[in-house]
Amino acid sequence: MDEFALIRRYFAGHGRGSGVAVGIGDDGAVLEPAPGMQQVQVIDTLVEGVHFPSDLAPADVGYRAVAVNLSDIAAMGAVPRWMTLALSLPAADEEWLDGFASGLHTAAAEYDVALVGGDTTRAPVAVITVHISGDVETGGAILRSGARPGDTVYVTGTLGDAAAGLRGLREGDPVRELLWRFTRPAARVRAGRALRGVATAAIDVSDGLLGDLGKLLLASGVGARLDVEALPISPPLAAHFGADEQRRFALSGGDDYELCFTASGELPDTGIVPVTAIGTVVEGAGIELRLDGEPFDYADAGYRHFADDESGA
Amino acid sequence: MDEFALIRRYFAGHGRGSGVAVGIGDDGAVLEPAPGMQQVQVIDTLVEGVHFPSDLAPADVGYRAVAVNLSDIAAMGAVPRWMTLALSLPAADEEWLDGFASGLHTAAAEYDVALVGGDTTRAPVAVITVHISGDVETGGAILRSGARPGDTVYVTGTLGDAAAGLRGLREGDPVRELLWRFTRPAARVRAGRALRGVATAAIDVSDGLLGDLGKLLLASGVGARLDVEALPISPPLAAHFGADEQRRFALSGGDDYELCFTASGELPDTGIVPVTAIGTVVEGAGIELRLDGEPFDYADAGYRHFADDESGA
């Protein structure tokens, strides 16, 4: 068996799922879109040494590769269905592949998404691209462009944990509960579904709150005022870092994959994840930070871990 | 403007196309599948130094990245509609990007496929993953698994040109008409459409006729007898190489992106591309080669240009 046949072995037999007429093994997958629904498609790449350290556990790499894409599906309010994988590796290391595949399949099972096709190639470093398709009710997708002055700005869960965990990892002393947010990010699919018809705009926090909210505001043609004291900070982040560092991680940390969204009026039950109001949409452009009502001076820099990279070609 | 904003500039504004409700620029694309049709999804990666030489003209890289995926769509008998791009690059070289984008958009326009989303990241070498979705009539997709003993084996166009052109390029003396087949492969979408309901099985020739036909036969649980003298050889290949080399390129060369298919009975008009009968499906397994009725001894090796890689995770 050649080594790429070996790779394929780890991904065969996972094409079962609703609407999968032909899965892995032909020139392409044959799928049955749900009648009357629109389809949401997302694609995202993780590069070894850029998006994750080379020594990250392969199961975590596999899990993350799926979760970061599911997070985009969640931010649109869609239900994930089908996944394809383009996996480029320096060599077919059986132990690494075994871990990677188990993490990938774990995430796929948790979110009920079927692996329907892929491509395996050789490259000098691991480059993992996942494409996911999901369903959304026609006209129901939550876009970045619908925020209006007077809307409240919300965020799900807590912010800053993943970046703090990753910094600990790089310094050789990670806090397990924080690092977990980096290695096993939760995609807020259930919350995204609950927000259809409620959120006026949404984006997932992959690059940091300020950067991602900035994109949402730009797409909507508005600005925002954020209350820094309102940022949701987890108990472990509060326990291990001072107030200033907590705020830096929460504002610029990225990799948490929470949803940031805007809405006016009452919020529905978004499931198990808490939602926190952190500010208000205003006329104009950009983000004004306030701490206890006073202007908060903050230079957004320094906490983008590996990245010069950017999503959304 | 940061350099990845620069990259995005080359791909913005190309999301128009039928069924595109939201294109590039949000967390995901929102698309409208055609009612009553099945969807075919394919994904394929090109790695610099593995699938193409580093000094290949960037417009050719962009064109190829689309065409090799369209070829898989063609082999299924589908019509391409939407494309997403995951582009990993060492740096945002404006001249390279300009060429790459123009080649990509040229192929997209020729085959009427809309670029609806993407992701740009940094990596040590260029890694280009394209995902394409297409439509096919429900139950109409041509699979690899339907070949039956007694069927005739056919191939579109001519074989071996791309590999011969690539070898010339590496040796510093390419024949332009042959190299063209590598840099600007034609995806046989129109032929694939015409073969629905006619071909019992099909695959595109990306890795070489013997390898790809071998996969088709394996999926169908049959074998084949090929007549080596029947292999379609182009005038430029015949003019520049001896009979033995022509056969090697045609049998193992790869990168031509012709369709190899099986059918019984009459063939329809497949459009502008000629179709050649090259053998017969038989009971059993594997490929038996004959030259003018005599067994033809051939070791399938040596002409896979860069590749240890393999499609179809």
**pLDDT tens-place string over residues A91-125:** 888 899 999 999 999 999 999 999 999 899 999 99
A39 and A113 inside one domain: yes
Name the closest residue on chain B to residue A311, using Cα atoms. B119
Residue B29 near residue B20, CB atoms below 8 Å: yes
**Residue A75: inside a domain:** yes
- Name the residue facing B129 among A2, A5, A129 (closest C-beta): A129
Q: How far apart are the first and last CA of chain A?
A: 38
Residue B272 binned pLDDT confidence (cut-offs 50, 70, 90): confident
Confidence at residue B312, expressed as pLDDT on a 0 to 100 scale: 40
Interface test mutation site (partner A, options B3, B11, B20, B27, max chain A beta carbons within 10 A): B27
B266 pLDDT higher than 80? no
Confidence of residue B308 (pLDDT cuts 50, 70, 90): very low
Mind listing the pLDDT tens digit for each residue in B73-114?
A: 999 999 999 999 999 999 888 899 999 999 999 999 999 999
Do A216 and A290 fall into the same domain? yes
Residue B1 has pLDDT above 80, yes or no: no
Instruction: Mark whether A77 and A185 lie in a shared domain.
Output: no
Strands A259-263 and A199-204: antiparallel
- B91 and B190 belong to one structural domain: no
Q: Which residues contact B265 (CB under 8 A, 6 or more apart)?
A: B198
Residue B309, pLDDT score: 38
Least confident among A3-12, A129-138, B178-187: A3-12
Size of interface A-B (CB pairs under 8 A): 261
CA dihedral sign of residues A207, A211, A217, A223: positive
Query: Global pTM?
Result: 0.93
Q: What is the pLDDT of residue A14?
A: 64
Residue A308 in any domain: the answer is no
Q: Which one of A73, A119, A142, A309 makes the best mutation probe of the B interface by having the most chain B beta carbons within 10 Å? A: A119
**Cβ-defined contact of B82 to A43 (cutoff 8 Å):** no
CB contact under 8 A, B127 and A122: no
* Chain A: residue whose CA lies nearest to B9: A313
Per CB-CB distance under 8 Å, the chain A contacts of B4 are: 308-310
Q: Are residues B97 and B186 in the same domain?
A: no
Closest CB to B119: pick one of A26, A308, A311: A311
Can you give chain A as a three-state secondary structure string?
A: CCHHHHHHHCCCCCCCCCCEEECCCCCCEEECCCCCEEEEEEEEEEEECCCECCCCCHHHHHHHHHHHHHHHHHHCCCEEEEEEEEEEECCCCHHHHHHHHHHHHHHHHHCCCEEEEEEEEECCCCEEEEEEEEEEECCCCCCCCCCCCCCEEEEECCCCHHHHHHHHHHCCCCCHHHHHHHHCCCCCHHHHHHCCCCEEEEEECCCCHHHHHHHHHHHHCCEEEEEHHHCCCCHHHHHHCCHHHHHHHHHHCCCCCCEEEEECCCCCCCCCCCEEEEEEEECCCEEEEEECCEECCCCCCCCCCCCCCEECC
B118 closest CB neighbour out of A43, A127, A202: A43
Q: What is the Cα–Cα distance from A29 to A289, expressed in whole angstroms?
A: 48
A41/B25 touch (CB, cutoff 8 Å), yes or no = no
Tokens of B58: 């960037």
Residue B100, domain CATH? 3.30.1330.10
What is d(CA A187, CA A195) in angstroms, rounded to the nearest whole number? 14
Mean pLDDT (whole number) for B182-194: 94
Is A87 within the bounds of a domain? yes
Instruction: Identify whether residues A93 and A169 lie together within a single domain.
Output: no
**Nearest Cβ partner of B50 from A75, A84, A123?**
A123
Residues spanned by the domain of B64: 3-137
ipTM greater than 0.85: yes
A168 and A99 both lie in a single domain: no
Q: Which residues of B fall within a CB distance of 8 Å from A133?
A: 41, 133
Residues B126 and B235 reside in one and the same domain: no
